[in-house]
Structure 1
Amino acid sequence: MTELPGLDLDRLAAHLGTGPLTGELIPGGRSNLTYRVGDGHERWVLRRPPLGHVLATAHDMSREHRVIKALADTAVPVPRVELLCEDTDVIGAPFYLMEEVPGVALRHRDQCPWLSPDKARALSERLVDVLADLHAVDPEDVGLSDFGRPDGFLKRQVARWGKQLDASRSRELPGIDELRDRLADSVPDSARATIVHGDYRLDNVLVTEDPLDISAVLDWEMATLGDPLADVGLLCVYWNGIGAREDDPITGTVPTLPGFADTDELVRRYAERSGADTGGLAWYTAFAYFKLAVILEGIHFRFTHGKTVGAGFDQIGQLTLPLVRQGLAASSGEH
């Protein structure tokens, strides 16, 4: 039995009452750690927080477990959760276990030789439709009425990510404080409150090829109740990529393949499906650039302190400032 960084398979097997376990790190995640584990008969997926420098209010396994469980009987595709363990003596951190769902997280163009332009268009539309379905769920109907505080959500979000930035500061970041101040001085009034995913993008869902569908929405660590346009703005940022990089290690380049909708088309479809007014989306897009810049700076901080697991983290720090520049442009109404 091989021990993985952040996951003691012996202790996990004893806790689950199974035989010897095998495990592997599932690549692609930049924050919470995800592993595939099995006992030779069954396989599961395990999620736990990162190894170090855990920011306040982030990486809450119980919240992630709760929202996935609550959405089980809705139109939103989610894995079945098996258990939540908050006893840090088992593997050194809280974790939860869920079923392994068929499908692939599409992060790179070379994963998609089967994705024709027609299928790419259909996948674009399905991705938006699932987001609209999420935002249509009544939190009270699924036991999530106390999952967040929608009043003042956007103002608190700007303040929260500003605090996260301060907790991860290790170098000069020209323009990031200006972007934060611009956002804080122009917070819009939210038209409605829904369950928000907080990190909705193509590679945070699993896609099946035949039939083409989204089998599960993953990575709910930032889910809460708030303004649904925050999800839409962030999806647009991920869709466009970071600084037009062809080797973008965060968002990948899959949406640049022939057939995928552009961001204007995504926004139009969302507005049609949800009935939402998306006329003020520029603020949400600028905020998404700021939020993502802070997240990446936190990851860079952990990398420089030897607290990351997996490959590709050496490039993350290069992306913070391009995001800041794009955020400033969006906040000025530039394209």
Structure 2
Amino acid sequence: MPGSPRTFDAETIRPLLQRWARAVVRPDARVEAIRPMPGNSGISFGFTTVQDDGGRETFVVRLAPPGVRRRGNTDVLRQVPLLRALHEHSVPIAQVRWWTDDPDWFGTDALVQEYVPALPLHMTDGSLSAGVPETRVPVLLDRAVDTLVAIHRVPVASLSGWEEPRSIDTELSFWGDVLRSAGDAARLAAGRDLRTQLADAAPHAPRAGLFHGDYQTNNILFDDREQVAAVVDWEIAGIGPQGLDLGWLMMMCDPTCWHPSYRARMRVVARPQDLLRRYEATDGGEVDRPHWYQALACYRFGAIAAYNYRLHRTGRRIDELYAAMAPSVGVLLGRGVQLLRELDG
């Protein structure tokens, strides 16, 4: 569309959403309550449409960054076949309402989903979290693990042609490139050491299938009945070794993986063995070398945090979250090595 914005805020996107609402929802629809959505999932806005008869619907629009190559987390339309497959197999997600690659609508690719009126069990920020007492956290974590089992049961055949399967070697190579891009010589040396040990100790025949890629309670929405209402943020989902999802959740909830400055802010804490036990008991099947997958998670997130901190400190993308996480990079990489030693022991 001529004149479409190269950057978006609530005002620049308002006329585009208004045009969309009248064309897709109803001709009398008016757009209200436009607001940026929380999290690190890219360009996304919540908004409500109101009709003359009082009808209301609330949506979230996700936009690909204009002018940026569509790849991985910048390719919002990549999620469409995945989200539809998940819905068909009863995995709770935010329903897909509409999508387009026609730039006449928003100047970039766009995906519109129904808004889910629920909140995550936020890892560090109580103001963004479901209001549950600390004693209920283990119950919600059990439900999160049960939902992970359901995700891992989605047959890959339902995603035929969606994504090339990733091997362990592919994962290690990809995140090694990310760590190298962080430009931190000390962290790169530590990361190379961990990567070598991960490669040497890798499971020989890892169970492969659909994985979320960032499975943690910030991305799991709970309703008022403390049930999982939706799993969100599927940007780095793929097909490959599924143990990395459980290892990721174990890492996120394990204080030993984090610097004391971040550990003090953790609101969701669990023993890795308890999460593993729940996963296996809910018929996720026996996990071969779970400590290895947690070590892989330490490597992956260490690379992500180091890279995003570089963007922050160079002013390319200010992100106070990763500034706060920067001291944990070395801890994550070191903890990964320790986990592999425990595996050997």
Equivalents in 2 of 1:234, 1:306: separation in Å? 28
Residue 133 in 1 paired to residue 150 in 2? yes
Please report how far the alpha carbon of residue 112 of structure 1 lies from its aligned counterpart in structure 2 after TM superposition: 5.6
Quickly say closer, same or farther: Cα 1:146–1:279, change in 2 above 3 A: same
Q: Corresponding residue for 1:229?
A: 243
Q: Corresponding residue for 1:42?
A: 57
For 1:99-141, what per-residue CA distance to the aligned partner results, in whole angstroms no more than 9, with x for missing partners? Answer: 0012101214634653252x3232121111101111112222x
Quickly say closer, same or farther: Cα 1:329–1:6, change in 2 above 3 A: farther
Residue 213 in 1 paired to residue 227 in 2? yes
Greater displacement, 119-128 / 13-22: 13-22
User: What letter is aligned with 2:132?
Assistant: W
Checking the alignment, whether the CA contact within 8 Å between 1:26 and 1:35 is kept in structure 2 is yes
Please report how far the alpha carbon of residue 8 of structure 1 lies from its aligned counterpart in structure 2 after TM superposition: 3.0
Q: How does 1:176-255 map to 2 (within 5 A)?
A: 176-209=191-224, 211-241=225-255, 242-243=257-258, 245=260, 247=262, 253-255=266-268
SS in 1 for 2:159: coil
Checking the alignment, whether the CA contact within 8 Å between 1:104 and 1:206 is kept in structure 2 is yes
Checking the alignment, whether the CA contact within 8 Å between 2:94 and 2:113 is kept in structure 1 is yes
For 1:225-274, what per-residue CA distance to the aligned partner results, in whole angstroms no more than 9, with x for missing partners? Answer: 1121111111101111442536459xx62223xxxx52211101111223
Q: Corresponding residue for 1:159?
A: 173
User: What letter is aligned with 1:157?
Assistant: E
Query: Any stretches of 5+ residues in structure 1 without a counterpart?
Result: none
Please report how far the alpha carbon of residue 49 of structure 1 lies from its aligned counterpart in structure 2 after TM superposition: 4.7
Please report how far the alpha carbon of residue 148 of structure 1 lies from its aligned counterpart in structure 2 after TM superposition: 3.2
Q: Corresponding residue for 2:133?
A: 115
Q: Corresponding residue for 1:170?
A: 183
Residue 104 in 1 paired to residue 119 in 2? yes
- Out of 3, 19, 42, the position equivalent to 1:32 is 42
Please report how far the alpha carbon of residue 304 of structure 1 lies from its aligned counterpart in structure 2 after TM superposition: 3.5
Please report how far the alpha carbon of residue 206 of structure 1 lies from its aligned counterpart in structure 2 after TM superposition: 0.3
Query: How high is the TM-score relative to the length of structure 1?
Result: 0.83
Q: How does 1:290-301 map to 2 (within 5 A)?
A: 290-301=299-310
Equivalents in 1 of 2:318, 2:97: separation in Å? 25
Greater relative contact order structure (CA < 8 Å, 6+ sep): 1
Please report how far the alpha carbon of residue 98 of structure 1 lies from its aligned counterpart in structure 2 after TM superposition: 0.5
Checking the alignment, whether the CA contact within 8 Å between 1:52 and 1:302 is kept in structure 2 is no
Query: How high is the TM-score relative to the length of structure 2?
Result: 0.81
Query: Any stretches of 5+ residues in structure 2 without a counterpart?
Result: 1-7, 23-28, 51-55
- Out of 271, 277, 297, the position equivalent to 1:288 is 297
User: What letter is aligned with 2:337?
Assistant: L
Larger Cα-atom Rg: 2
User: What letter is aligned with 1:318?
Assistant: P
SS in 2 for 1:308: coil
Quickly say closer, same or farther: Cα 1:224–1:253, change in 2 above 3 A: same
Identity among equivalent pairs (%) = 23
Quickly say closer, same or farther: Cα 1:15–1:136, change in 2 above 3 A: same
- Out of 7, 10, 28, the position equivalent to 2:15 is 10
User: What letter is aligned with 1:253?
Assistant: M
Q: Decide which structure has greater helix share.
A: 2
Equivalents in 2 of 1:53, 1:333: separation in Å? 42
User: What letter is aligned with 1:25?
Assistant: P
Quickly say closer, same or farther: Cα 1:310–1:185, change in 2 above 3 A: closer
Please report how far the alpha carbon of residue 310 of structure 1 lies from its aligned counterpart in structure 2 after TM superposition: 6.5
Equivalents in 2 of 1:162, 1:314: separation in Å? 21
- Out of 84, 91, 99, the position equivalent to 1:69 is 84
- Out of 270, 277, 280, the position equivalent to 1:268 is 277
SS in 2 for 1:254: coil
Quickly say closer, same or farther: Cα 1:243–1:116, change in 2 above 3 A: closer
Equivalents in 1 of 2:183, 2:106: separation in Å? 29
Checking the alignment, whether the CA contact within 8 Å between 2:99 and 2:111 is kept in structure 1 is yes
Greater displacement, 281-290 / 182-191: 182-191
User: What letter is aligned with 2:228?
Assistant: I
Task: Tell me the matched-pair count.
Answer: 321
Checking the alignment, whether the CA contact within 8 Å between 1:11 and 1:90 is kept in structure 2 is yes
SS in 1 for 2:119: coil
Equivalents in 1 of 2:194, 2:99: separation in Å? 38
Quickly say closer, same or farther: Cα 1:246–1:129, change in 2 above 3 A: farther
Please report how far the alpha carbon of residue 216 of structure 1 lies from its aligned counterpart in structure 2 after TM superposition: 0.2
Equivalents in 1 of 2:316, 2:63: separation in Å? 14
Q: Corresponding residue for 2:97?
A: 82
Quickly say closer, same or farther: Cα 1:275–1:247, change in 2 above 3 A: closer
SS in 1 for 2:244: helix
Quickly say closer, same or farther: Cα 1:6–1:62, change in 2 above 3 A: farther
